[in-house]
Amino acid sequence: MSERLLKRFDRTDRARNEQHVTPKAHFSMKDHALGLTMLPMLQKPSHHRESGLGVRIEGVRRQFENGVVALDGIDLNVASGEFLAILGPSGCGKSTLLRLIAGLDKPQGGNVFTMEASHGRADRHGLGTRADIAYVFQDAHLLPWRNVLANVALPLELMGIERKVREESALRAIEQVGLGDAADRYPNQLSGGMRMRASLARALVTEPRLLLMDEPFAALDEITRQRLDDQLRALWAALNMTVIFVTHSTIEAAFLAQRAIVLSSRPARIVEDYTLNLPAERTGSIRSSPAFARETRVLYQALERNEV
Ligand SMILES: Nc1ncnc2c1ncn2[C@@H]1O[C@H](COP(=O)(O)OP(=O)(O)OP(=O)(O)O)[C@@H](O)[C@H]1O
Ligand SMILES: [Mg+2]
């Protein structure tokens, strides 16, 4: 999706929906870029569900133009259908790593591959498999002049999917995240938790085989965050996708993930690669169990050892 095309789309979309823009609505180019960042990754959604995409990262290095080395010598395999949490001190390179996996950024050294589970074939980014990746940011980045249904349907609209099909898919995704009653509401009529649900639905609407999430629930209150974690875990179990989830919370990582990696401070290296020893069936009540306390402690201690 070229920038020119996006701009044209933005103009026509705004014109069509002008009556819905509230006086306070403000939409900067930055919002625009972030809100629609997933678009270059989107192509036709698969109508039959395939398995999650695996990821293989080999010796990745990312140094920025100002000399900052965010990542160096990162090797990581993420299996098809796995739920991986990434923990690490602030500024260590977690978002950088996620952006590389998404193909939004390029490493200076090493390789990032997405893997077809069925036959183990590796596809380098740019050769096709990126179509099945979706990315969820910390902020919801909804378009203020579109209601929930139209926001969630947007990725399919930009793929040229006909209205009836895209609205049916969007409604399904909205139901999946528990927003069924709010499909016709506008972003300024939603709570922070509801906005994040809408953002998650917009990612799920394309049935991604790899869902990348960068601290998506960090700004929410604890109860709302736990509810969304419960829902995300259930969706992951039901939807046959790989999830890579960046968080600062050891509790969130232990609840959600099968496996967690802990990164060192910059330049980030993987200093802990831990398979969580918790049952596959997880409901909210597991958080008060001794086993859960033990697992979060393991992650916390690994973080603490490497925090500078
Ligand atoms: N485009 C850029 N140019 C220069 N430095 C950058 C750029 N993007 C990120 N950095 C630096 O790279 C390092 C890693 O950034 P990154 O955003 O990946 O950290 P993070 O682990 O996600 O942090 P946080 O937990 O605070 O979100 C930081 O020191 C950051 O300042
Ligand atoms: Mg970050």
> What confidence tens digit (pLDDT) does each residue in 156-206 have?
998 888 999 999 999 999 999 999 999 999 999 999 999 999 999 999 998
Read off the pLDDT of residues 45-91 as tens digits, 9 standing for 90 and up.
444 456 889 999 999 999 999 999 999 999 999 999 999 999 999 99
What band does 136 get if pLDDT is binned at 50, 70 and 90? very high
Of ligand 1's listed atoms, the one at least distance from the Cα of 99 is 18
SS3 of residue 226 by DSSP:
helix
**Ligand 1 atom showing the smallest separation from residue 66 Cα:** 4
Q: Which residue, by CA, sits nearest to atom 24 of ligand 1?
A: 90
pTM, rounded to two decimals: 0.83
**Strand order through the sheet with 122-124:** 69-78, 54-63, 109-115, 122-124
Buried b (16+ CB within 10 A) or exposed e, 225-255: bbbbbbebbebbeebebbbbbbbebbbbbbb
For the ranges 99-103, 142-146, 262-266, 304-308, the one whose mean pLDDT is highest: 142-146
Question: Nearest ligand to the C-alpha of residue 64?
Answer: 1
Better-scored residue on pLDDT, 25 or 32: 32
Centroid of ligand 2 to alpha carbon of 265 (angstroms): 13
Give me the residues near ligand 2 (ion), CB cutoff below 5 Å: 95
Q: What is the mean pLDDT of the chain?
A: 82
Tokens 């890579």 -> residue: 244
Nearest listed ligand to the Cα of residue 248: 1
pLDDT of residue 46: 45
**Atom 23, ligand 1: residue with shortest CA distance:** 91
Taking the domains of the chain in order of start, what are their residue ranges?
A: 3-147+207-306
For ligand 2, the distance from its centroid to the CA atom of residue 106, given in whole angstroms, is 17
For residues 144-154, average pLDDT: 97
| Residue 97 CA, ligand 1 centroid: distance in Å | 10
Q: How far is the CA of 263 from the centre of ligand 1 (A)?
A: 13
3-class DSSP assignment, residue 278:
coil
- For the CA of 96, the closest atom of ligand 1 is 18
% the chain with pLDDT above 70: 78
Q: How far is CA 114 from the centre of its chain?
A: 16
Element (H, E) at 133: strand 133-136
Q: Write the CATH number of the domain with boundaries 3-147+207-306.
A: 3.40.50.300
**Which atom of ligand 1 approaches the CA of 215 most closely?**
27
Q: Looking at ligand 1, which atom is closest to the CA of residue 88?
A: 21
Question: Residues with Cβ within 6 A of ligand 1?
Answer: 64, 66, 68, 70, 88, 90-96, 266
Give the residue, by CA position, lying nearest to ligand 1 atom 1: 64
85 Cβ contact list (under 8 Å, min separation 6): 245, 246, 247, 252, 253, 256, 257, 259, 260, 261
Quote the ligand 2 centre to 8 CA distance (angstroms).
30
Question: Which bound ligand lies closest to the C-alpha atom of 213?
Answer: 2
For 63, the 3-state DSSP assignment is strand
